[in-house]
A and B are shown apart, each in its own frame.
Chain A
């Protein structure tokens, strides 16, 4: 066991775990941040997508030792009140079915929009291909990202 200080959603949190413990399980079991989901454990489904220093990553493949010192952003920290343009778009378009994958979808999409404010369908398909939605809400995820781009362009209070 080792002591690690993690910067999660802007707060420093200390945990005492084995260094190889995946960040996923540290977030879920030790820090009670369960929005980051376990789907496959091998980096294939994207349900555990988080941002490490702004870049999307798989929490299930990231040892906690590699995350110490990085800025970790989870779905719980994406916005204070669920008002990130993607979150607003997801509610507006009723994207989810079961909802289990959607935090991972939103985190991948957030990194996409940060790089590319107006992605095309092709940009979206290519970026989102790593995120599985078992309910197959892909039609609405695609639409949701386009809508979020519009909302973001209109500013925090715009395009309501």
Chain B
């Protein structure tokens, strides 16, 4: 988003609220009209119901409360965004109370996803903190009858430079709240050189509750009179319930009710038909479910299998009949005239998110009022679908977001909330629905699988002059795309898309699209570099060229910031010791990709035993997410986690499909990376550039898979063209 535009649209409002504090809200609303509605809302706020996107409160006793408006899913946002406000406000962070803001549509985007929270919030939050500081400065200066320029803010108080007098923020609240709001454009922001808090290491605000087992998560919630539910869906996607042994289930100990849910809800967030069991405890529901016998109408997809998808994809790619999505130049002529042509095809499977906290939701319906307690990345989506399903105005649905036990994109969908709402409506009591791990793994919105077929042509100097990519996949929203790197960098380029008929639910999975696009693209570029007899770093830097911004040859679309990418590639090569010789069985590989506004390059260093055991010894990352790291501790944790998650998913992540259903069911057949496989050394180098700060939940993940795959090739000469890595025998002699 254009920061200037964001700035114009954002605005601040100040008022006294019923508790007698200074209230400051900041909005990301895109229209002035909606903004006016927000002013009215904020002006009338009470302690119980205000709901801005981000919110500052200073109480007369000096307590500073900062409201966190986005879900905490482990990305650290409940700490890092309040730090932005605290920095400009000049308060000591350990004295700040961070409180979750409720969902309110007047306040814009409250969804966590796409690494968007940081870029969308950074400047408005700075202005929120700075505006409060300016008002407090003015209040103090007026109180003392001195020029405001003689006053300064520090540690929750305003000080007068010459006299040494000071007043705490609490003492200034009443006066500050009566002052007219300054024009946000004139509010001086701190020079980042003077930042004390931003860029330092701050432990998460909920650290102590986490390590003492406090009830932070959705699954930990309990409301009075609550019953416990489990929901059984057809293992074949799109199947319907014909019948079930409901009478036998209802007779089991602890079971309160059992029924078929047949009224569904269509859409990206869907309610699929199934059988609900409601009981007096989670275990009563789970154990009754073991006796459940459902007759399904499995529908038209009961014959789908991964093996047939593979065959269909190969036939589609060979048919020459895929949809041409983008073409530049004359790829066919360029391939015909190329000094060397390189061809390769890649495939990657469906994977699950496997948030460690299974999906769950607690719903209370009282008359026409609905209360939802959910771990969700998007309270807005939950409210939208629950209100639509129940036929109520959205305002009647209150969604309280708990801490999320992992997100990774899974909790952008509200399917589990719809299920809980449907069950609560039928039962007439508050319901906590808990998914089993098997439910969670098999009824995910999966990371889309896909098949990519590349051809490249090199000129006599070994330069890439033509690239064609055919992607055959399952959902055009979640696959590698026509504008991904290096589409703008090749004079002759074509991207064709093929779609396989399927009924598999898919959705965003950490660094959606990029996490697979990076692997196919950077692996193929490595193949091309080797075919050209070139060093991969030199080849890729040459491909990135000399221009700063690179447009498509036709001038259409968004430019690619090649300067930023060249720099992270250069830094990672330098820091990793690229080019230093390694013994047989060891190798280095490069991956680099732009995603979610971040530019990241990674070099993996691997050792492969002759028996074929893979060890990733070291990963070096160069990361450009703009001018400012907000929380150094959180940033480092996200990058380390992205690298290890990227490794585990590329190494092990695989769902198989037979007879229209996922064949894996739990961790015994869907392995996830464990500590012994995590790289011992992860080194991070931040490349700071003069661009607005962006988020780190995603961009460090995509480069890892190609970095490791390319390192394996460098080590033993085996090229992996199918994920997960574990499918390939890596033994060598």
Question: Of A47, A102, A141, which is within 8 A of B210 by CB?
Answer: A102
Within 8 A of B (CB), among A123-144: 124-126, 128-142
Docked pose: A133 CA to B678 CA in angstroms: 11
Per-position 1/0 for A27-56, Cβ under 8 A of B: 011101111111111101101000000000
Question: Of B74, B201, B642, which is within 8 A of A99 by CB?
Answer: B74
Are A41 and B356 in contact (CB-based, < 8 A)? no
Binds A, one of B211-219, B231-239, B525-533: B211-219
Are A98 and B203 in contact (CB-based, < 8 A)? no
Question: Of A22, A32, A87, which is within 8 A of B283 by CB?
Answer: A22
B110 at the interface (CB under 8 A from A): no
B52 at the interface (CB under 8 A from A): no
Per-position 1/0 for B382-410, Cβ under 8 A of A: 00000000000000000000011111100
Are B208 and A91 in contact (CB-based, < 8 A)? yes
Docked pose: A1 CA to B287 CA in angstroms: 14
CB nearest neighbor in A for B215: A34
B461 at the interface (CB under 8 A from A): no
Are A94 and B201 in contact (CB-based, < 8 A)? yes
Contacts of B217 in A (CB 8 A): 34, 37, 100
CB nearest neighbor in A for B697: A97
A106 at the interface (CB under 8 A from B): yes
Are A135 and B641 in contact (CB-based, < 8 A)? yes
Q: Chain B CB within 10 Å — which of A30, A42, A130 has the most?
A: A42
B437 at the interface (CB under 8 A from A): yes
Q: A75-B212, A103-B213 are in contact. Are A132 and B672 (CB under 8 A)?
A: yes
Are B667 and A98 in contact (CB-based, < 8 A)? no
A81: min CB distance to chain B, Å: 8
B354 at the interface (CB under 8 A from A): yes
Are A136 and B645 in contact (CB-based, < 8 A)? yes
CB nearest neighbor in A for B408: A134
B73 at the interface (CB under 8 A from A): yes
Are B637 and A35 in contact (CB-based, < 8 A)? no
Docked pose: A92 CA to B407 CA in angstroms: 24
Are B219 and A44 in contact (CB-based, < 8 A)? no
Per-position 1/0 for B490-508, Cβ under 8 A of A: 0000000000000000000
Q: A106-B211, A136-B644 are in contact. Are A98 and B220 (CB under 8 A)?
A: no
A101 at the interface (CB under 8 A from B): yes
Are A39 and B283 in contact (CB-based, < 8 A)? no
Docked pose: A144 CA to B73 CA in angstroms: 21
Contacts of B638 in A (CB 8 A): 97
A16: min CB distance to chain B, Å: 11
Are B358 and A38 in contact (CB-based, < 8 A)? yes
Question: Of B203, B634, B637, B675, which is within 8 A of A91 by CB?
Answer: B203
Per-position 1/0 for B191-214, Cβ under 8 A of A: 000000000011110111011111
Majority-rule SS of A interface residues = loop
Are A29 and B675 in contact (CB-based, < 8 A)? no
Question: Of B212, B406, B637, B640, which is within 8 A of A87 by CB?
Answer: B212
Are B357 and A100 in contact (CB-based, < 8 A)? yes
B708: min CB distance to chain A, Å: 14
Q: A94-B637, A100-B405 are in contact. Are A134 and B207 (CB under 8 A)?
A: no
Within 8 A of B (CB), among A111-160: 121, 124-126, 128-142
A70 at the interface (CB under 8 A from B): no
B228 at the interface (CB under 8 A from A): yes
Docked pose: A76 CA to B675 CA in angstroms: 25
Docked pose: A132 CA to B638 CA in angstroms: 17
B405: min CB distance to chain A, Å: 3
B315: min CB distance to chain A, Å: 37
B668: min CB distance to chain A, Å: 6
Are A25 and B282 in contact (CB-based, < 8 A)? yes
User: In which size bucket is the chain B interface?
Assistant: 35 or more
B303 at the interface (CB under 8 A from A): no
Contacts of B404 in A (CB 8 A): 98
B697: min CB distance to chain A, Å: 10
Contacts of B204 in A (CB 8 A): 94, 96, 99
Docked pose: A73 CA to B548 CA in angstroms: 59
CB nearest neighbor in A for B208: A82
Docked pose: A41 CA to B285 CA in angstroms: 14
B30 at the interface (CB under 8 A from A): no
Contacts of B211 in A (CB 8 A): 75, 82, 86-87, 90-91, 96, 102-103, 106
Question: Of A44, A106, A125, A131, which is within 8 A of B668 by CB?
Answer: A44
Are A139 and B213 in contact (CB-based, < 8 A)? no
Q: Chain B CB within 10 Å — which of A76, A99, A125 has the most?
A: A99
Contacts of B73 in A (CB 8 A): 98
Within 8 A of A (CB), among B214-266: 214-217, 219-220, 222, 228, 253-254
Contacts of A7 in B (CB 8 A): none
B327 at the interface (CB under 8 A from A): no
Docked pose: A99 CA to B28 CA in angstroms: 29
B680 at the interface (CB under 8 A from A): yes
Contacts of B354 in A (CB 8 A): 134
Within 8 A of A (CB), among B326-371: 354-358
Docked pose: A90 CA to B211 CA in angstroms: 7
Docked pose: A38 CA to B356 CA in angstroms: 8
Per-position 1/0 for B271-314, Cβ under 8 A of A: 00000000001111011000000000000000000000000000
Are B222 and A32 in contact (CB-based, < 8 A)? yes
Contacts of B210 in A (CB 8 A): 90, 96, 99, 102-103
Docked pose: A64 CA to B32 CA in angstroms: 60
Are A34 and B220 in contact (CB-based, < 8 A)? yes
Contacts of B407 in A (CB 8 A): 98
Contacts of A1 in B (CB 8 A): 253
Are B203 and A92 in contact (CB-based, < 8 A)? yes
Are B216 and A99 in contact (CB-based, < 8 A)? yes
Q: A22-B283, A94-B637 are in contact. Are A138 and B644 (CB under 8 A)?
A: yes
Are B405 and A98 in contact (CB-based, < 8 A)? yes
A66 at the interface (CB under 8 A from B): no
Q: A44-B666, A94-B201, A129-B676 are in contact. Are A76 and B213 (CB under 8 A)?
A: yes
B626: min CB distance to chain A, Å: 21
Are A99 and B403 in contact (CB-based, < 8 A)? yes
CB nearest neighbor in A for B648: A136
Q: Chain A CB within 10 Å — which of B202, B354, B643, B682 has the most?
A: B354
Docked pose: A142 CA to B644 CA in angstroms: 14
B168 at the interface (CB under 8 A from A): no
Are B219 and A38 in contact (CB-based, < 8 A)? yes
Are B637 and A98 in contact (CB-based, < 8 A)? no
Per-position 1/0 for B51-95, Cβ under 8 A of A: 000000000000000000000111110000000000000000000
15 sample A-B contacts, Cβ–Cβ < 8 Å, listed by A number: A25-B281, A29-B281, A37-B357, A39-B357, A47-B356, A87-B212, A97-B74, A99-B206, A99-B216, A103-B210, A106-B211, A131-B674, A133-B356, A134-B408, A137-B640
Residues of A within 8 A of B (CB): 1, 17-18, 20-22, 25, 28-30, 32-42, 44-45, 47, 74-76, 78-79, 82, 86-87, 90-94, 96-103, 106, 121, 124-126, 128-142
Q: A96-B74, A125-B676, A134-B354 are in contact. List 17 more A-B contacts (CB 8 A).
A: A18-B283, A25-B281, A34-B220, A37-B405, A39-B356, A45-B356, A79-B212, A90-B207, A97-B75, A97-B76, A99-B74, A99-B206, A100-B217, A134-B672, A137-B640, A138-B644, A141-B675
10 tightest Cβ-Cβ pairs between the two chains A and B = A35-B213, A98-B74, A100-B405, A136-B644, A75-B213, A99-B210, A97-B74, A44-B667, A94-B203, A25-B283
